[in-house]
């Protein structure tokens, strides 16, 4: 892997405020907006093809009430993942991780692969993603992240040298000390925290424990500036047109 420096601004699901999330159009928009690093959500189809998709259910982004794990990649290709966002994006197809990785490499964009397994498919998810990554002769810079500790365990086993981040949206399941322990055990270099818990105390605590702090999802320039003053390393944004430095 090349130098894996992560910039201050990471496009969230591509540039999810400007084009349908996790689609090719969203990645193109991120490039057009000058981003150099993008986050994508990755899970698998019924036939274990890693695809870019956030929700387990297809209702929100494809207007189909069904789990993506019930459809093969070929079947998913028939659905429209753009029209929910705007007519302008009609007929936008689901995007495979394999194609996205080539796009990132060609455009010299780094990628944060968020492991978003369908429930109960954590191991399959990693095995399928591993297959795709290992099949590539050339790869963009990348790091993994997940809310799911078992996914991070599998990824540590399969890619011991790949950078990893642990995602947190509240402290109800793990408290801050648990989070530090998990990050030590899984050798995570960063935490990705929800903006609701991004305050001076949390940021200082994680930094004191030698973790870089990234915050999602920030679409307000003033808030972004405040977070950087508090010592945050990177933020994820849907709106790179508004949050730019």
- For position 17 contacting ligand G3P by CB under 6 A, the verdict is no
- For position 41 contacting ligand G3P by CB under 6 A, the verdict is yes
- CA dist 238 and 220 (Å) reads 10
Contact at 8 Å (CB) between 242 and 220?
yes
Nearer to ligand G3P, 92 or 114 (CB): 114
Binding residue for ligand G3P (CB under 6 A) from 114, 122, 148, 238? 114
* Contacts (CB under 6 A) with ligand G3P, residues 59-88: none
- For position 216 contacting ligand G3P by CB under 6 A, the verdict is yes
Binding partner of residue 79 among ligand G3P, Mg ion, none, CB cut-off 5 to 8 Å per kind? none
> DSSP 3-state assignment of 37?
strand
Instruction: Identify the residue whose tokens are 């498919």.
Output: 121
Nearer to ligand G3P, 39 or 122 (CB): 39
Whose CB is nearest to ligand G3P?
216
DSSP 59-111: HHHHS--SBGGGS-HHHHTTS-SSTTT-GGGTTPPP-BHHHHHHHHHHTT-EE
Binding partner of residue 216 among Mg ion, ligand G3P, none, CB cut-off 5 to 8 Å per kind? ligand G3P
- For position 41 contacting Mg ion by CB under 5 A, the verdict is yes
The nearest distance, CB 54 to ligand G3P, in angstroms, is 6
Choose one: 42-50, 74-82, 88-96, 110-118; the region binding Mg ion (CB under 5 A). Answer: 110-118
Binding residue for ligand G3P (CB under 6 A) from 192, 195, 227, 239? 192
Whose CB is nearest to Mg ion?
114
Binding residue for Mg ion (CB under 5 A) from 21, 114, 122, 238? 114
Binding partner of residue 122 among Mg ion, ligand G3P, none, CB cut-off 5 to 8 Å per kind? none
Beta strands (DSSP E) in the chain are: 9-12, 37-44, 50-52, 110-115, 142-146, 164-168, 190-194, 212-216, 234-237
- CA dist 161 and 164 (Å) reads 9
DSSP state of 9: E
Binding-site residue total for ligand G3P (CB under 6 A)? 10
Binding partner of residue 236 among ligand G3P, Mg ion, none, CB cut-off 5 to 8 Å per kind? ligand G3P
Contact at 8 Å (CB) between 116 and 43?
yes
Rg (CA), the chain: 17
Dihedral class, residue 13 (left if φ above 0, else alpha if ψ from -120 to 50, else beta): left
- For position 145 contacting ligand G3P by CB under 6 A, the verdict is yes
Instruction: Identify the residue whose tokens are 């270099």.
Output: 189
Phi, psi torsion values for 142, nearest 5 degrees: -155, 155
Residues that bind Mg ion (CB under 5 A): 41, 114
Residues that bind ligand G3P (CB under 6 A): 12, 39, 41, 54, 114, 145, 167, 192, 216, 236
């Amino acid at each position: 892997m090349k130098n894996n420096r992560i910039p201050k601004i990471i496009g969230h699901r591509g540039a999810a405020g400007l084009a349908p999330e996790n689609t090719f159009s969203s990645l193109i928009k991120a490039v057009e907006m000058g981003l150099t690093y993008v986050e994508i959500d990755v899970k698998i189809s019924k036939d274990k093809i890693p695809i870019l998709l956030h929700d387990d259910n297809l209702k929100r982004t494809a207007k189909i009430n069904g789990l993506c794990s019930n459809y093969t990649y070929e079947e998913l290709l028939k659905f429209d993942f753009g029209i929910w966002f705007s007519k302008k994006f009609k007929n936008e197809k689901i995007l495979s991780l394999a194609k996205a990785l080539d796009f990132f490499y060609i455009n010299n964009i780094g990628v944060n692969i968020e492991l978003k397994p369908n429930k109960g498919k954590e191991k399959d998810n990693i095995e399928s993603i591993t297959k795709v990554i290992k099949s590539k002769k050339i790869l963009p810079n990348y790091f993994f992240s997940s809310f799911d500790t078992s996914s991070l365990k599998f990824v540590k086993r399969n890619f011991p040298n790949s950078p990893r981040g642990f995602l947190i949206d509240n402290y109800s399941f793990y408290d801050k000390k648990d989070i530090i322990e998990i990050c030590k055990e899984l050798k995570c270099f960063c935490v990705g925290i929800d903006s609701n818990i991004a305050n001076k105390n949390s940021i200082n605590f994680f930094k004191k424990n030698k973790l870089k702090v990234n915050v999602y999802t920030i679409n307000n320039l003033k808030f972004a500036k405040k977070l950087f003053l508090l010592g945050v390393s990177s933020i994820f944004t849907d709106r790179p047109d508004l949050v730019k430095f």
